[in-house]
Amino acid sequence: HHGHSVSHGILDRVGTRNSPPIMNLAWNSSFMWDGGIADLDLQSIAPITNHVEMDETMANVLNKLRNSPVYPGMFQKAFGTTEINTSNFLKALSQFMLMCVSSNSKYDSVMRQEPGKHFTESEATGYALFKQKCNTCHREPLFTDHSFRNNGISVSSVNDEGRYGITQNEADRYRFKVPSLRNLSFTAPYMHDGRFLTIDAVLDHYNSQVQHTQNLDPLLQNGIPLSSSDRVNLTAFLLTLNDHSFLADRRFSEQ
């Protein structure tokens, strides 16, 4: 985001949401903060054609690829044809995203009982706290239950109504998809509108700043009380979810 709370698109146009990370999408049944897309093969159409994000047409994108000196040969290798059409173009994008699997954090190594891999005392205490206070929504091992919830943040300046915009069900107003906590150190800013820049700010919210907005999740009626030591230990555990091998994988980096 380069310092922005919400994502910027073409010509530096300002969006309304914070782009979620691309990882472990194979286990998702819906995509976007509001769950508005149910098929990963179709997800890419949204940012490509969105006026703020890429402001393109599918036809123009396909023509660019067809006229490329590189891509027809790559499609030949992948699909057995140099033809580039909507179907194989979207399939190529979804298959790439499905490759982005993050499963080699310290947490994963400890859970697999790999030799020499153990939580520190602080991390172990934080893990116990996590299971007590956070695990209902951020369920292991993906650290999300893929549900849509209102976690008590104040309504955004653009009045983003979240899941309600898709379902038109009053019970879904201001509900957003529960994000994964994996690679938390590298996915700031946090929340659908990027309002929190640090993990500390997120913990401040749950500890003492939960707003009783419409459809507030029942689990958060009293927030999540955390002592100073709780916060230190919980943060120590959350940092074990960082997967440095995934983040350094050159297959997923700009070459």
Assigned domain for 18 exists: no
**Same domain as 148, residue 87:** no
Give residue 115's pLDDT.
97
Q: Please report the beta strands in 156-249, taking only residues with DSSP state E, as ranges in sequence order.
A: 176-177
Of 49, 67, 99, the position where a domain reaches its end is 99
| One domain, residues 114 and 220 | yes
Confidence check: pLDDT of 255 > 80: no
pLDDT in tens, 64-114: 999 999 999 999 999 999 999 999 999 999 999 999 999 999 999 999 999
Our count of domains for the chain comes to 2
% of the chain with per-residue pLDDT over 90: 91
Mean predicted confidence (pLDDT) in 170-180: 98
pLDDT at 5: 86
- 15 within domain boundaries: no
Domain extent, residue 207, equals 106-245
Residue 6 has pLDDT above 90, yes or no: no
Cis peptide before 115 (omega within 30 of 0): no
- Of the residues 48, 68, 99, the one at which a domain ends: 99
Q: Are residues 112 and 209 in the same domain?
A: yes
Cross-strand pairs, 162 = 175
Query: Are 44 and 64 part of one and the same domain?
Result: yes
Q: Comparing 150 with 255, which gets the higher pLDDT?
A: 150
- Which residues are registered as beta bridge partners of 149? 176
Are 115 and 94 within one domain?
A: no
- Which pLDDT band, with edges at 50, 70 and 90, does 14 fall under? confident
pTM greater than the 0.85 cutoff:
yes
| pLDDT value at residue 167 | 98
Is 137 inside a domain boundary? Answer: yes
Q: Tell me what pLDDT residue 2 has.
A: 61
Q: Residue 124 carries which DSSP code?
A: H
